Amino acid sequence: MTKILVCISNVPDTTTKITFTDNNTQFNTNGVQFILNPYDEIALARAIELTDGGKGSVTVINVGEAATDATIRKALAIGATDAVRINAKPHDAWYVAYQIAEYVKANPFDLILTGRESIDYNGSKVAGMLGELLDIPSVSIIKKLDLDGSTATVEREIEGGKEVLSIPMPFVAGTAEGVAEPKIPNMRGIMGARTKPLTVVEPAEVKTFSEVLSYETPAPRGQVKLVDAGDPAQLVELLHTQARVI
Protein backbone atom coordinates (compact mmCIF):
# COMPACT_ATOMS: atom_id res chain seq x y z
CA MET A 1 0.00 0.00 0.00
CA THR A 2 1.51 3.27 -1.14
CA LYS A 3 0.53 6.24 0.98
CA ILE A 4 0.75 9.46 -1.03
CA LEU A 5 0.36 12.97 0.31
CA VAL A 6 -0.56 15.71 -2.16
CA CYS A 7 -0.03 19.29 -0.99
CA ILE A 8 -2.59 21.63 -2.52
CA SER A 9 -2.99 25.40 -2.81
CA ASN A 10 -6.06 27.53 -3.27
CA VAL A 11 -5.21 30.12 -5.96
CA PRO A 12 -6.93 32.72 -8.16
CA ASP A 13 -8.35 31.29 -11.39
CA THR A 14 -5.92 31.58 -14.34
CA THR A 15 -8.19 34.11 -16.11
CA THR A 16 -8.05 36.52 -13.12
CA LYS A 17 -6.99 40.07 -13.82
CA ILE A 18 -4.68 40.79 -10.89
CA THR A 19 -5.32 44.05 -8.98
CA PHE A 20 -4.45 45.30 -5.51
CA THR A 21 -6.05 47.34 -2.75
CA ASP A 22 -4.95 49.24 0.37
CA ASN A 23 -2.25 51.22 -1.38
CA ASN A 24 -1.07 48.14 -3.31
CA THR A 25 -0.41 46.11 -0.19
CA GLN A 26 -3.24 43.57 -0.51
CA PHE A 27 -4.32 41.31 -3.38
CA ASN A 28 -7.84 42.32 -4.40
CA THR A 29 -9.91 39.14 -3.99
CA ASN A 30 -13.13 40.92 -4.85
CA GLY A 31 -14.94 38.94 -7.55
CA VAL A 32 -12.02 36.51 -7.87
CA GLN A 33 -12.81 32.84 -8.25
CA PHE A 34 -10.40 30.55 -6.45
CA ILE A 35 -9.38 27.20 -7.85
CA LEU A 36 -7.20 24.20 -7.08
CA ASN A 37 -3.70 25.21 -8.25
CA PRO A 38 -3.33 23.75 -11.80
CA TYR A 39 0.04 22.10 -11.04
CA ASP A 40 -1.44 20.50 -7.92
CA GLU A 41 -4.21 19.04 -10.11
CA ILE A 42 -1.47 17.25 -12.04
CA ALA A 43 0.07 15.92 -8.79
CA LEU A 44 -3.34 14.73 -7.61
CA ALA A 45 -4.14 13.04 -10.93
CA ARG A 46 -0.83 11.13 -10.89
CA ALA A 47 -1.27 10.15 -7.23
CA ILE A 48 -4.71 8.73 -8.05
CA GLU A 49 -3.32 6.81 -11.04
CA LEU A 50 -0.48 5.36 -8.94
CA THR A 51 -2.81 4.12 -6.20
CA ASP A 52 -5.70 3.05 -8.43
CA GLY A 53 -7.25 -0.36 -7.82
CA GLY A 54 -6.53 -0.55 -4.10
CA LYS A 55 -2.76 -0.05 -4.42
CA GLY A 56 -2.75 2.76 -1.89
CA SER A 57 -4.33 5.95 -0.66
CA VAL A 58 -4.12 9.65 -1.49
CA THR A 59 -4.38 12.28 1.24
CA VAL A 60 -4.57 15.94 0.27
CA ILE A 61 -3.25 18.56 2.65
CA ASN A 62 -3.76 22.31 2.57
CA VAL A 63 -2.60 25.11 4.83
CA GLY A 64 -5.47 27.54 4.76
CA GLU A 65 -8.48 29.01 6.45
CA ALA A 66 -12.04 27.64 6.22
CA ALA A 67 -12.60 29.41 2.88
CA THR A 68 -10.35 26.85 1.16
CA ASP A 69 -12.66 23.95 2.04
CA ALA A 70 -14.41 24.26 -1.34
CA THR A 71 -11.10 23.62 -3.12
CA ILE A 72 -10.30 20.72 -0.77
CA ARG A 73 -13.73 19.17 -1.52
CA LYS A 74 -12.94 19.49 -5.22
CA ALA A 75 -9.75 17.47 -4.66
CA LEU A 76 -11.81 14.85 -2.81
CA ALA A 77 -14.32 14.84 -5.69
CA ILE A 78 -11.50 14.23 -8.16
CA GLY A 79 -10.56 11.14 -6.16
CA ALA A 80 -8.45 11.84 -3.06
CA THR A 81 -9.15 9.41 -0.22
CA ASP A 82 -9.19 11.95 2.59
CA ALA A 83 -8.07 15.47 3.42
CA VAL A 84 -6.31 17.51 6.07
CA ARG A 85 -6.53 21.26 6.47
CA ILE A 86 -4.08 23.03 8.73
CA ASN A 87 -6.15 25.91 9.98
CA ALA A 88 -3.92 28.92 9.31
CA LYS A 89 -3.24 31.65 6.81
CA PRO A 90 -0.42 30.40 4.51
CA HIS A 91 1.99 33.20 5.43
CA ASP A 92 4.83 32.10 3.12
CA ALA A 93 6.41 28.95 1.68
CA TRP A 94 8.49 28.35 4.80
CA TYR A 95 5.42 28.56 7.05
CA VAL A 96 3.46 26.18 4.81
CA ALA A 97 6.34 23.70 4.50
CA TYR A 98 6.91 23.76 8.26
CA GLN A 99 3.25 23.00 9.04
CA ILE A 100 3.12 20.15 6.52
CA ALA A 101 6.45 18.73 7.79
CA GLU A 102 5.10 18.71 11.36
CA TYR A 103 2.05 16.79 10.19
CA VAL A 104 4.13 14.32 8.19
CA LYS A 105 6.49 13.66 11.11
CA ALA A 106 3.47 12.38 13.07
CA ASN A 107 1.78 10.75 10.03
CA PRO A 108 4.41 9.32 7.63
CA PHE A 109 3.85 8.98 3.87
CA ASP A 110 5.75 7.07 1.16
CA LEU A 111 5.58 9.87 -1.37
CA ILE A 112 4.82 13.59 -1.09
CA LEU A 113 3.80 15.53 -4.18
CA THR A 114 3.34 19.25 -4.66
CA GLY A 115 2.71 21.23 -7.82
CA ARG A 116 5.95 22.64 -9.27
CA GLU A 117 4.79 26.06 -8.04
CA SER A 118 1.60 27.81 -7.06
CA ILE A 119 0.39 30.25 -9.69
CA ASP A 120 0.07 33.09 -7.15
CA TYR A 121 3.53 33.34 -5.55
CA ASN A 122 5.43 31.00 -7.92
CA GLY A 123 8.10 30.23 -5.36
CA SER A 124 8.73 26.55 -6.18
CA LYS A 125 9.90 26.33 -2.59
CA VAL A 126 7.57 24.08 -0.60
CA ALA A 127 8.87 20.82 -2.13
CA GLY A 128 12.52 21.61 -1.37
CA MET A 129 11.80 22.97 2.10
CA LEU A 130 9.72 19.90 2.95
CA GLY A 131 12.52 17.64 1.74
CA GLU A 132 15.01 19.49 3.93
CA LEU A 133 12.76 19.58 6.99
CA LEU A 134 12.12 15.83 6.67
CA ASP A 135 15.72 15.07 5.58
CA ILE A 136 14.57 13.21 2.46
CA PRO A 137 15.30 13.82 -1.24
CA SER A 138 13.36 16.45 -3.16
CA VAL A 139 13.06 17.15 -6.88
CA SER A 140 11.69 20.54 -7.78
CA ILE A 141 10.24 20.15 -11.27
CA ILE A 142 9.40 16.73 -12.65
CA LYS A 143 7.88 15.83 -16.02
CA LYS A 144 7.41 12.12 -15.42
CA LEU A 145 6.92 9.85 -12.39
CA ASP A 146 6.79 6.06 -12.26
CA LEU A 147 6.93 3.72 -9.28
CA ASP A 148 8.52 0.30 -9.11
CA GLY A 149 8.11 -1.16 -5.65
CA SER A 150 9.68 1.28 -3.22
CA THR A 151 11.75 3.10 -5.86
CA ALA A 152 10.62 5.79 -8.25
CA THR A 153 11.94 6.86 -11.62
CA VAL A 154 11.43 10.55 -12.31
CA GLU A 155 12.35 12.89 -15.13
CA ARG A 156 13.55 16.28 -14.00
CA GLU A 157 13.47 19.29 -16.28
CA ILE A 158 16.82 20.98 -16.92
CA GLU A 159 17.64 23.85 -19.28
CA GLY A 160 17.52 22.41 -22.78
CA GLY A 161 16.97 18.82 -21.73
CA LYS A 162 16.07 16.40 -19.03
CA GLU A 163 17.63 14.29 -16.32
CA VAL A 164 16.41 10.83 -15.33
CA LEU A 165 16.68 10.01 -11.63
CA SER A 166 16.08 6.91 -9.55
CA ILE A 167 14.94 7.78 -6.02
CA PRO A 168 13.99 5.50 -3.11
CA MET A 169 10.81 6.47 -1.28
CA PRO A 170 10.05 8.51 0.72
CA PHE A 171 10.80 11.70 -1.20
CA VAL A 172 9.14 14.95 -2.29
CA ALA A 173 8.55 16.01 -5.89
CA GLY A 174 7.00 19.04 -7.58
CA THR A 175 4.97 18.04 -10.62
CA ALA A 176 4.68 19.86 -13.93
CA GLU A 177 2.88 19.23 -17.21
CA GLY A 178 3.63 15.80 -18.60
CA VAL A 179 3.31 13.89 -15.30
CA ALA A 180 -0.44 13.32 -15.78
CA GLU A 181 -3.53 14.85 -17.35
CA PRO A 182 -5.71 16.66 -14.78
CA LYS A 183 -8.87 14.72 -13.92
CA ILE A 184 -12.37 16.17 -13.99
CA PRO A 185 -14.61 15.05 -11.12
CA ASN A 186 -17.67 13.02 -12.11
CA MET A 187 -21.07 13.15 -10.42
CA ARG A 188 -20.30 10.15 -8.21
CA GLY A 189 -17.08 11.80 -7.10
CA ILE A 190 -18.82 15.05 -6.29
CA MET A 191 -21.51 13.28 -4.23
CA GLY A 192 -18.94 11.14 -2.45
CA ALA A 193 -16.70 14.09 -1.64
CA ARG A 194 -19.25 15.43 0.86
CA THR A 195 -18.80 12.48 3.16
CA LYS A 196 -15.06 11.87 2.80
CA PRO A 197 -13.08 12.78 5.93
CA LEU A 198 -11.64 16.31 6.12
CA THR A 199 -9.63 16.69 9.31
CA VAL A 200 -8.87 20.19 10.56
CA VAL A 201 -5.58 20.51 12.48
CA GLU A 202 -4.42 23.58 14.39
CA PRO A 203 -1.03 25.00 13.27
CA ALA A 204 2.29 24.69 15.12
CA GLU A 205 3.99 27.87 16.33
CA VAL A 206 6.83 28.95 14.06
CA LYS A 207 8.74 32.12 13.28
CA THR A 208 8.57 33.36 9.67
CA PHE A 209 11.34 34.99 7.64
CA SER A 210 9.57 37.00 4.96
CA GLU A 211 6.87 39.63 4.54
CA VAL A 212 5.27 40.90 1.35
CA LEU A 213 5.36 44.69 1.67
CA SER A 214 3.72 45.75 -1.58
CA TYR A 215 2.73 44.75 -5.08
CA GLU A 216 2.86 46.34 -8.49
CA THR A 217 1.73 45.39 -11.98
CA PRO A 218 4.09 45.47 -14.98
CA ALA A 219 4.50 48.91 -16.55
CA PRO A 220 2.17 49.30 -19.53
CA ARG A 221 3.78 49.30 -22.96
CA GLY A 222 3.37 52.15 -25.39
CA GLN A 223 1.14 51.99 -28.45
CA VAL A 224 2.05 49.12 -30.78
CA LYS A 225 3.93 50.18 -33.89
CA LEU A 226 2.44 48.40 -36.87
CA VAL A 227 4.54 47.38 -39.84
CA ASP A 228 3.08 46.65 -43.27
CA ALA A 229 2.60 42.91 -43.83
CA GLY A 230 4.19 43.19 -47.24
CA ASP A 231 7.41 44.67 -45.90
CA PRO A 232 8.80 42.70 -42.92
CA ALA A 233 12.25 44.10 -43.77
CA GLN A 234 11.03 47.28 -42.08
CA LEU A 235 10.43 45.27 -38.89
CA VAL A 236 13.96 43.87 -39.01
CA GLU A 237 15.27 47.41 -39.45
CA LEU A 238 13.27 48.67 -36.43
CA LEU A 239 14.38 45.76 -34.25
CA HIS A 240 17.97 46.53 -35.15
CA THR A 241 18.10 50.35 -35.07
CA GLN A 242 15.26 51.34 -32.72
CA ALA A 243 14.70 48.46 -30.28
CA ARG A 244 18.33 47.28 -30.59
CA VAL A 245 17.46 43.67 -29.83
CA ILE A 246 19.02 42.08 -32.91
Task: Considering only residues 102 through 131, tell me which ones interact with another protein, judged by CB under 8 A.
Answer: 119-129, 131
Amino acid letter for position 113: L
Backbone angles phi, psi at 4, to 5 degrees: -115, 135
Binding of another protein by 29 (CB under 8 A): no
Nearer to another protein, 22 or 228 (CB): 228
Site for another protein in 41-60 (CB under 8 A): none
For residue 168, CA distances in Å to 6, 112, 124, 146, 242 come to 18, 12, 22, 12, 55
Total residues at interface with another protein (CB under 8 A)? 85
HSE-CB at 197 with a 13 A cutoff on CA atoms is: 9
190-209 residues in contact with another protein (CB under 8 A) are: 208-209
HSE-CB at 81 with a 13 A cutoff on CA atoms is 18
Instruction: Select from 47-55, 56-64, 65-73, 211-219 the region that touches another protein (CB under 8 A).
Output: 211-219
Short-list 79, 78, 96, CA closest to 9: 96
x/- track of binding to another protein for residues 136-175 (CB under 8 A): xxxxxx-x---------x--xxxxxxxxxxxxx--x----
- Closest distance to another protein from the beta carbon of 132 (Å): 4
Q: To the nearest whole angstrom, how small is the minimum distance from the Cβ of residue 166 to another protein? A: 5
Q: Distance (Å, rounded) from C-alpha 189 to C-alpha 10?
A: 20
- Which CB sits closer to another protein, 68 or 124? 124
Q: Which is nearer to another protein, 187 or 226 (CB)?
A: 226
Q: Which one of 1, 106, 187, 229 is in contact with another protein (CB under 8 A)? A: 229
CA separation, residue 200 to residues 63, 80, 91, 142, 203 (Å): 10, 16, 18, 30, 10
* Radius of gyration of the chain measured on its C-alpha atoms: 21
Instruction: Kindly state whether residue 241 participates in binding another protein, applying the rule CB under 8 A.
Output: no
Query: Least separation, in Å, of the C-beta of 200 and another protein?
Result: 26
- 114 SS3 class: strand
